[in-house]
Amino acid sequence: MNSTLSLAILSGKGGVGKTNISLNLACALHQLGFKPLLMDCDMGLANLDILLGITPTANLQDALMGQTPMKDVLFSIDKGFDVLPAASGVPELNELKPELRGILIDRLEPHLSSYDYVFMDLGAGISENVQTFAALASVRLIVITPEPTSLTDGYALVKVLNNRFGMKDFMVLVNQASSAKEAQVTFERMHKACLHFLHVEPVMLGHVRLDSKLPEAVCRQKPLLKYAPSSPAARDIMAIAEKLQKIRLSMADWLADRSILHRPTDTASTEEALA
Ligand SMILES: Nc1ncnc2c1ncn2[C@@H]1O[C@H](COP(=O)(O)OP(=O)(O)O)[C@@H](O)[C@H]1O
Ligand SMILES: [Mg+2]
């Protein structure tokens, strides 16, 4: 019976905080006693290794396109906390072809059941790669910031995934918010646009405050949760991790009947979905 929750971390616009949110949510859940796997799925600008200050010897591309067994690619950063690193700039993987998609699922899935959470940290935008991982995961988390461009790009992402795969369930995390109030207003704008134009109702997962400790942690190549655990953003992320665990429990029956990764069925091409 499956109990692993896979989450795709998405955004329309780059630099909104996806990688830091994925990393620190995984850290927070590990601190709460759960086993997370953090997958670097940003084949364009893979940088989880840099944020962690690690130098993995093999990566996802080696396991997909070469001879390296998947288990040798998993990099343990702590007991029960692994990272699946990626390399930057492998065009075949950025535009993931259906054949590779199948190989990815077949090779990856057998290794996932020992984890409680699988976080897929994706690149920004709507590349084939992003759409594939978004469709593979059980839950899609869209990261937005209060900037208007982040909101419109986030909406465009929901639109494409909804049109192409018929996806209706999205969670939203507002990052870099100056207050809970600003986060709520930002979420409501997104919710209103999705409901009005797409008849989709995203759900607010939570918000993370703008916090100067976060760029400091990045410079020190340490997760914020380790570098400044009592900083406002770290506390927000811990609260979101606790909420996520409640959500995973409430999804137990649904998860039990599903595979950890889902083979997507396209209902439209990207061009049609964008129209
Ligand atoms: N809550 C926050 N408070 C302050 N700065 C942030 C916050 N979230 C992200 N940042 C800044 O944004 C930068 C980009 O974050 P990153 O996680 O790499 O984004 P993405 O993966 O979406 O491109 C970080 O290096 C950091 O400087
Ligand atoms: Mg990133």
The 10s digit of each residue's pLDDT in 136-184 is 999 999 999 999 999 999 999 999 999 999 999 999 999 999 999 999 9
Residue with tokens 């091409």: 269
pLDDT at 249: 97
CA 108 – ligand 1 centroid, Å: 28
Residue 122 gets which letter from DSSP?
Answer: P
Split into its structural domains, the chain has a count of: 1
- Considering every ligand atom shown, identify the ligand nearest to the alpha carbon of residue 224 and give its number: 1
Residue with tokens 């859940």: 29
Determine the atom of ligand 1 nearest the C-alpha atom of 22: 17
Give the residue, 275 or 236, on which the prediction is more confident.
Answer: 236
Strand order in the sheet with 139-144: 75-78, 81-84, 36-40, 117-121, 5-10, 139-144, 171-177, 203-209
Say if 186 falls within a structural domain. yes
Instruction: Count helices and strands (H / E) in the chain.
Output: 14, 8
pLDDT at 193: 97
The residue whose CB lies within 8 Å of the most ligand 1 atoms, and thus the one to mutate among 13, 20, 50, is 20
Q: How far apart are alpha carbons 55 and 53 in whole angstroms?
A: 7
Determine the atom of ligand 1 nearest the C-alpha atom of 121: 21
Is a pLDDT exceeding 60 seen at residue 267?
Answer: no
CA 132 – ligand 1 centroid, Å: 24
Q: Distances from the Cα of 155 to the Cαs of 160, 182, 191, in angstroms?
A: 9, 18, 9
- Residue nearest (by alpha carbon) to ligand 1 atom 27: 215
Determine the atom of ligand 1 nearest the C-alpha atom of 11: 22
For residue range 59-103, list pLDDT tens digits in order. Answer: 988 888 888 999 999 999 999 999 999 887 766 666 677 777 788
Strands (DSSP E) found in the chain: 5-10, 36-40, 75-78, 81-84, 117-121, 139-144, 171-177, 203-209
Say if 241 falls within a structural domain. yes
CA 213 – ligand 1 centroid, Å: 11
Is a pLDDT exceeding 70 seen at residue 269?
Answer: no
Give the residue, 46 or 246, on which the prediction is more confident.
Answer: 246
pLDDT at 127: 86
Helix 98-108 and helix 128-136, axial crossing angle in degrees, nearest 10? 40
Burial class (CB in 10 A: 0-12, 13-18, 19+), 219: exposed
The residue whose CB lies within 8 Å of the most ligand 1 atoms, and thus the one to mutate among 214, 221, 225, 238, is 214
CA 3 – ligand 1 centroid, Å: 30
pLDDT at 128: 83
Say if 170 falls within a structural domain. yes
Say if 274 falls within a structural domain. no
For residue range 198-255, list pLDDT tens digits in order. Answer: 999 999 999 999 999 999 999 999 999 999 999 999 999 999 999 999 999 999 999 9
- Residue 78's domain comprises 5-260
H/E segment holding residue 135: helix 128-136
Q: Are 32 and 241 in contact (CB under 8 A)?
A: yes
CA 268 – ligand 1 centroid, Å: 33
> Residue 6's pLDDT band (boundaries 50, 70, 90)?
very high
CA 17 – ligand 1 centroid, Å: 4
Q: How far apart are alpha carbons 2 and 96 in whole angstroms?
A: 26
Say if 134 falls within a structural domain. yes
pLDDT at 85: 93
Q: How far apart are alpha carbons 258 and 109 in whole angstroms?
A: 12
CA 192 – ligand 1 centroid, Å: 26
Q: Distances from the Cα of 11 to the Cαs of 21, 52, 76, 227, 272, in angstroms?
A: 12, 21, 27, 25, 20
Q: Ligand 1: residues whose CB is within 6 Å?
A: 11, 14-20, 175-176, 208, 210-211, 214-215, 218, 233
Say if 272 falls within a structural domain. no
Give the residue, 132 or 116, on which the prediction is more confident.
Answer: 116
Say if 231 falls within a structural domain. yes
Say if 176 falls within a structural domain. yes
Q: What is the CATH number of the domain that holds 33?
A: 3.40.50.300
